Amino acid sequence: MRVWSFAAALGAGALQVLAFAPFGFWLLQPLALSGLLLLAAGQGVRRAAGLGAAFGLGWFGAGLWWLFISLHEFGGLPAPLAVLALLLLGAFLSLYPAAALALHARLRPSPRWAPPLFAVCWLAAELARAQWFTGFPWIAGGYAHTAGPWAGWAPWVGVYGIGFLTAWAAAALLQPRSPKVWLAPLALALLGLILPQDFSSPAGRLQLHLLQPNVAQSHKFDPARIERQLSDLLDQIEQAPPGLVLAPESVLPVPLALMDVAAQQRIADLSRARPLLLGSFVGSNEAGWVNTLMGWQGGELRYLYGKRHLLPFGEFIPPGFEWFVRALNIPMDSQATGLHQRPWVLGGQRLRPLICYEDLFGEDMVASALSGPDAATVFVNASNLAWFGRLMVQDQHLQFSQMRALEFQRPVVRSTNTGATAWVDHRGQVRARLAPEQVGVLSVEVEGRAGATPYARWLGALGLRPLWALALLPLIGVALRRRLRRSP
């Protein structure tokens, strides 16, 4: 029976992945949590933690399997070692749901208070995963709800607030005969359908051309192919109609300082006919290269945005793991952090760049969703997901952009190497998208937006502290209970 329950928890975690893109069965997210809670009902702290860990292993194993491609095909790790590395990562990330289940079991709340207390415990685990050890909130529970009733809560409470609400609903589903228990989360879900959503207003339009070069990752940093790739890219830019051309992250794999003078001059000449926002590296070997988006206009380099939230192992080396990163032979594996930059003002719009997975961290970009000199009207994401293949990862990352659009009511445009190159409007709807793994240009006329959502306002003023305060309530309760027991 014990083995069966752990296998069932593992399956529930894997099933939850179907709630996210590209599948989109959002209702499975709270249902999977309900299944986990049903298995953990009445169990002790250790057994509940084990079930939470099994759930997490299924969740992250099924949701992040594509990391195997980067580790094995591009990193050169033998397949067994790549699988082992994935299992270790999944086991580490599984500590968060394990801790949530253990804390909930330790509290032993009454049936009436069990659902909201589980939601609080789950919120604590999601916030910790999002912020500790530089943070890795990939496929956090709330991301499944870019559609459905809870999507209406995005501009009010953000992705982690949605995760709290769905966890509450998941626990309440186990007590269908107690209206006092399930009525509140049901009412909150339905409220999401009628909450006001108009917090931004039109701020003009801008013509953009989103490039998708479709360069195979195995070719991208090959010295014998770089010159041809650069020539093809510049030809693609030259053929684009008037309007801003946005190219992917590291589309110029040779750092600007090391680029051929003739190539630099051609880029400058092309920018006289159209503005360019191109991904490259700026800096030096001594100080560290910075993953950068360069804005060219009128024959001059006028704008730089350096990536600030770096990816562990791929862009910076965590202490003690240099041997592992060196074994993977990843180009540009030790990068410097970019400085904060104001948006690029162009054509009456203020463009806020985001490089690759920076758009997972809404708390880092909230200043651009308020008012003042840092306020943006359009978010632009430049990514290269060719490291991870095509299946699932492109759609998952696109869904994160949809959530940011919902939270801040700003359009998001994405230029990627192999996909998903797309335009997401301020309502989180994908308005246009290029087919993956094809060379192409997506031309769109984007309406910029100005104004701040309630979520942006309180996140900008307080950060995630209000959610952390809510998440710490169970720990305060445990401490008070222990103190009362010790007192005479």
Rounded Cα distance between 76 and 88, Å, is 18
**Annotated catalytic residue within 220, 315, 356, 407:** 356
Give the pairing of strands 412-416 and 378-383: parallel
CB 167 within 8 A of CB 157: no
Q: Distances from the Cα of 401 to the Cαs of 178, 288, 423, in angstroms?
A: 38, 28, 10
Let me know if 447 is a catalytic residue: no
**Annotated catalytic residue within 121, 126, 220, 307:** 307
Q: Which of left, alpha, beta for 263 (phi over 0: left; psi -120 to 50: alpha)? A: alpha
Q: DSSP assignment, residue 134? A: G
Q: DSSP assignment, residue 307? A: -
Let me know if 121 is a catalytic residue: no
Sheet with 422-424, side-by-side order of all strands: 344-346, 349-355, 378-383, 412-416, 422-424, 430-433
Q: Distances from the Cα of 21 to the Cαs of 141, 269, 398, 399, 401, in angstroms?
A: 12, 40, 8, 6, 12
Let me know if 249 is a catalytic residue: yes
Rounded Cα distance between 453 and 224, Å, is 49
**Annotated catalytic residue within 121, 126, 220, 249:** 249
Active site residues: 249, 307, 356
